Structure 1
Amino acid sequence: MPTGTVAAHRLTLTAPEWSVLCALTQTPQPPGFDTGEDDVDPALRQEATDALSDRGVLVDGERQPAPPVAANLAILTGGPIVVDIAVSVRRRGLRARYALQGPLGASVLTLPDEAVELSMFPAASIGWELIRAVPDPTELARASDPIRLALAGAGAPPSGRIPLEVLAEYGPACRVAGSDGAAATTDRWQLTDAQRRLAARLDSEVTGVLRAVVTGRARGSAAVAQVIWLAAVSGWLATRPVTAADGTREVVITPAERTGFAAAVAPYLAQLIGDDND
């Protein structure tokens, strides 16, 4: 984080503590965060309540959240600009929600063992906060199986331009019909040699996906934008949708640094923040 910025305030909660806090404050849990409050054992619920009280998260005889926590939850559930992030890399997953309201932002991020992290931060720091939801490339490599790592080798990461539908069709076609499936997809889409090689590499090297959905209001109407990155054994791959001259929907694939994720989301946030300040 750049020198001079205000540090974020963070609070780590266990799954029972998060469940108790949401139930007490009637906070709707974002998609992917529902701990199933009704399924929490009563003894664990009481233990979590006591722990929240001891930590100062709950006050007034365990009936109210402390003012900073209440403010955090209020922004998280009421902020007009929201970014929902879902990361899935093989058997590993991460969810995050960010919300902006005026000069402040709030987030909730999943942690191992079903714990969560609540944060409140200056809205100007949203870029640095978003990057925290993007796993480091070394984690992607650890999540890859040895065969994929061996196939990837030490060459340049995959890059190029390919029809959008090929991303969905090529892998299943190969798994069902082998080389015949690959050839059929190549013929169907009239892929160039470069596109065919790119499709094959993506099928063998991509291990997961990061999807960010940005919502808010722009020019008085509801606005939704999506940023998708692919997790590969070599690191992150950014995707950018384009339309070919013949109208075919295509995707431009480029290697990306983890820190570049904020820049990928920034144009959509800038439009929404500008509209929110009008």
Structure 2
Amino acid sequence: MDLHLAGLTALVTGGTKGIGRAIVDSFAAEGANVGFCARNPADIEATEAALVGSGGRVSGTAMDMGDAAAVARWVGDSASMFGGIDIVVSNVSALAIPDTDESWEATLRVDLMGTVRLVKAALPHLQQSSAASIIAISSVSGREVDFASGPYGTVKSALIAYMAGLAFQLAGQGIRANTVSPGNTFHEGGVWQNIEQGDPELFNTVMGLNPTHRMGTPQEVADTVVFVASPRSSRTTGANILVDGGLSRGIQF
């Protein structure tokens, strides 16, 4: 299926590892231009090198999504470099789970306000696009109570609400907004590999809760994100799409 992404430009936050990296790779494979950000310059350089020769242009920027000025600068520079912006994917997370003041502040600053600032900076460019799409990566922890309730789960819930509001507010301008909520996703160097090594009891408990008896892969999440972001999903807006292997039990009306 041609997703009609060739020549469009997507911005992806947290684009060098895990789900974010798979999203960057997938957009590039579809021929889209991709601007991505991350905090580690070496990881950015490696990602750019790996995608040389892909269908579109790929450019990374080292920055902190909790830095409001840096977010605005990155979006503006990316729009100038690529000649516009069609898609934004807010993927980065502080992954601050413990119920501490520091976790609340980090999660609000990076996960929530990073997304809000990204959208506000990108909106003038999205308004010029005929295929404008906004996606936030939330989590099943934003939909139901689990071990990550607290700062992480609460802010992931807020992202779902924020996207739903944007979908309603921006529909008349032809701008879509959706949330993709992954379940437990395993990748090398990721949080679940660390838990497997450091807390095998928790790891095994979580594995046992999923009816597929496995965790998801970054590529499985990325495939959903890229399709929903694409013009082929033009009627999808205001949705929270679960990619969790049946982990969530609640009925989503």
Into which bin does the TM-score normalised by the smaller protein fall? Answer: under 0.3
The structure with the greater share of residues assigned to strand is 1
TM-score (norm 1): 0.26
Larger Rg: 1
TM-score (norm 2): 0.27
